[in-house]
């Protein structure tokens, strides 16, 4: 077993494929490309592919302004990203990262389709935030080559990647994904499959505590100031919820309430749900706890 693990850990990922060119898929494709691994970026809609590529160009443009990226690096990175609407284009990928919409049915179909196209020894990962890896693995032909690979938003800035081990995930798969994460310049942590994995398991009880404070009359701006100025956190909970998005946060918090009820405070009129219902989604539509210009 030891020998096998060492061999798998050295398996080089020569080509990545990312399914879904949205906020996360676009960011993951950029990260693979900038670290020198060619990536096929597949979506079902051309405008999504255009947006994914333009986001990558924007990040590189900012790097050029700051003198961190030159024209050759920019061209090489963009050349490393091959956008496609065609499944067959992912057939040579050694690592496929699924980042389509957070819907178990859609993900189930996409994962099945992926298995039909890629080589037998290709690794397949999901970037899901809230769906159980064991549940997604249920309908896969080879669940041993599947695990979670959970990036954080914005991908090019956030160092952490949670690698989620399902019950059937092989050690070879974990070792290869850890090595691929390091090659992408990120910090991997391996966790077992559970509601919220590690980060959201810590974060959502904190959000629930914050919501309770607000319902008890606390001023959210004051809470943010305390977390930023006294605790030294990069941002307080209200601002962070605006970054995450009220739709995403509302959904994730109900998953967490089902999964770890003992750690989630029951809150009547949760401010997050109220803002979501009032279509104040946060930064993504310009208004949440705060207004964005
Ligand atoms: P998004 O809505 O920005 O992008 C999803 C993309 O998937 C869209 O471009 C859509 O056209 C595409 N798509 C839908 N069906 C497809 C299919 N069958 N094949 C290929 N592409 C398809 O979503 P997002 O915010 O990038 O989230 C993607 C995944 O990442 C979700 O599972 C989400 O939970 C997870 N995630 C999101 C965040 C975040 O902060 N946004 C953070 C971590 C993880």
Enclosing H/E stretch for 51: helix 46-65
Residue 218 main-chain phi, psi, to 5 deg = -70, 150
Q: Whose CA is nearest to atom 29 of ligand 1?
A: 99
Ligand 1 site residues (CB inside 6 A) read: 19-25, 42-45, 48, 99-102, 106, 110, 127-129, 151-153
* Average pLDDT score, the chain: 94
- Percent of all residues in the chain with a pLDDT value above 90, rounded to a whole number: 92
User: Which tokens in the block code for residue 234?
Assistant: 């990069």
Cβ(94)–Cβ(122) below 8 Å: yes
pLDDT at 42: 98
Residue 23 has pLDDT above 80, yes or no: yes
Please state the ipTM of this predicted complex: 0.98
Stretch 8-22: mean pLDDT: 85
Residue 3 has pLDDT above 90, yes or no: no
150 is known as an active-site residue: yes
Residue 258 has pLDDT above 90, yes or no: yes
Question: Could you give the angle at which helices 23-34 and 46-65 cross, rounded to 10 degrees?
Answer: 50
- Ligand 1 atom with least separation from CA of 113: 18
Tens of pLDDT, residue by residue over 85-137, are 999 999 999 999 999 999 999 999 999 999 999 999 999 999 999 999 999 99
Residue 28 has pLDDT above 60, yes or no: yes
Site to substitute for ligand 1 among 17, 18, 19, 25, most atoms within 8 A of C-beta: 25
The full set of domains in the chain, from first to last, is 2-192 (3.40.50.720), 200-285 (1.10.1040.50)
Stretch 79-90: mean pLDDT: 97
Query: Distance between the two ends of the chain, CA-based, in angstroms?
Result: 56
- Ligand 1 atom with least separation from CA of 128: 32
Q: Which of 150, 165, 186, 280 is catalytic?
A: 150
pLDDT at 38: 98
User: Which tokens in the block code for residue 133?
Assistant: 């890896």
Paired residues of 40 in beta bridges:
17, 82
Q: What is the dihedral of CA 116, 125, 56, 71, to 10 degrees?
A: -90
Cβ(40)–Cβ(89) below 8 Å: yes
Residue 1 has pLDDT above 50, yes or no: no
Site to substitute for ligand 1 among 24, 203, 256, most atoms within 8 A of C-beta: 24
Stretch 206-219: mean pLDDT: 96
Tens of pLDDT, residue by residue over 265-288, are 888 899 999 999 999 999 999 999
Tens of pLDDT, residue by residue over 158-212, are 999 999 999 999 999 999 999 999 999 999 999 999 999 999 999 999 999 999 9
Residue 154 has pLDDT above 50, yes or no: yes
Residue 162 main-chain phi, psi, to 5 deg = -85, 125
Q: Which of 246, 256, 252 is nearest to 281 (CA)?
A: 246
Q: Which of 151, 114, 41, 104 is nearest to 251 (CA)?
A: 104
pTM for the whole thing?
Answer: 0.93
Q: Whose CA is nearest to atom 18 of ligand 1?
A: 110
Site to substitute for ligand 1 among 22, 112, 256, most atoms within 8 A of C-beta: 22
Residue 5 has pLDDT above 70, yes or no: no
User: Which tokens in the block code for residue 215?
Assistant: 């319902």
Q: What is the dihedral of CA 205, 210, 215, 216, to 10 degrees?
A: 110
pLDDT at 2: 47
Residue 8 has pLDDT above 70, yes or no: no
């Amino acid at each position: 077993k030891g020998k096998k693990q060492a061999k798998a850990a050295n398996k080089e990922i020569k080509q990545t494929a990312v399914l879904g060119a949205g906020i996360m898929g676009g960011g993951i494709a950029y990260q693979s490309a900038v670290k020198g691994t060619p990536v096929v970026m597949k979506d079902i809609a051309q405008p999504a592919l255009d947006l994914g590529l333009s986001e990558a160009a924007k990040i590189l443009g900012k790097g050029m302004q700051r003198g961190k990226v030159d024209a050759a690096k920019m061209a090489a990175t963009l050349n490393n990203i091959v956008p496609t609407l065609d499944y067959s284009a992912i057939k040579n990928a050694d690592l496929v990262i699924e980042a389509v919409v957070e819907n178990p049915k859609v993900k189930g179909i996409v994962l099945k389709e992926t298995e039909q196209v890629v080589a037998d020894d290709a690794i397949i990962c999901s970037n899901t935030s809230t769906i159980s890896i064991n549940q997604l693995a249920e309908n896969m032909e080879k669940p041993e080559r599947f695990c979670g690979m959970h990036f954080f938003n914005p991908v090019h800035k956030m160092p952490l990647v949670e690698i989620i081990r399902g019950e059937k995930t092989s050690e070879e798969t974990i070792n290869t994904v850890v090595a691929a994460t390091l090659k992408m310049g990120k910090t991997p942590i391996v966790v077992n499959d559970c509601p919220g994995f590690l980060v959201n398991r810590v974060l959502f009880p904190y959000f629930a505590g914050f919501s309770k404070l607000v319902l008890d009359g606390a001023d959210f701006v004051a809470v943010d100031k305390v977390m930023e100025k006294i605790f030294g956190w990069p941002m307080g909970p209200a601002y962070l919820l605006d970054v995450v998005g009220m739709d995403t946060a509302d959904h994730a918090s109900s998953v967490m309430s089902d999964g770890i009820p003992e750690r989630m405070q029951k809150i009547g009129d949760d401010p997050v749900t109220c803002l979501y219902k009032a279509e104040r989604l946060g930064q993504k539509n310009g208004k949440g706890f705060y207004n964005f210009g």
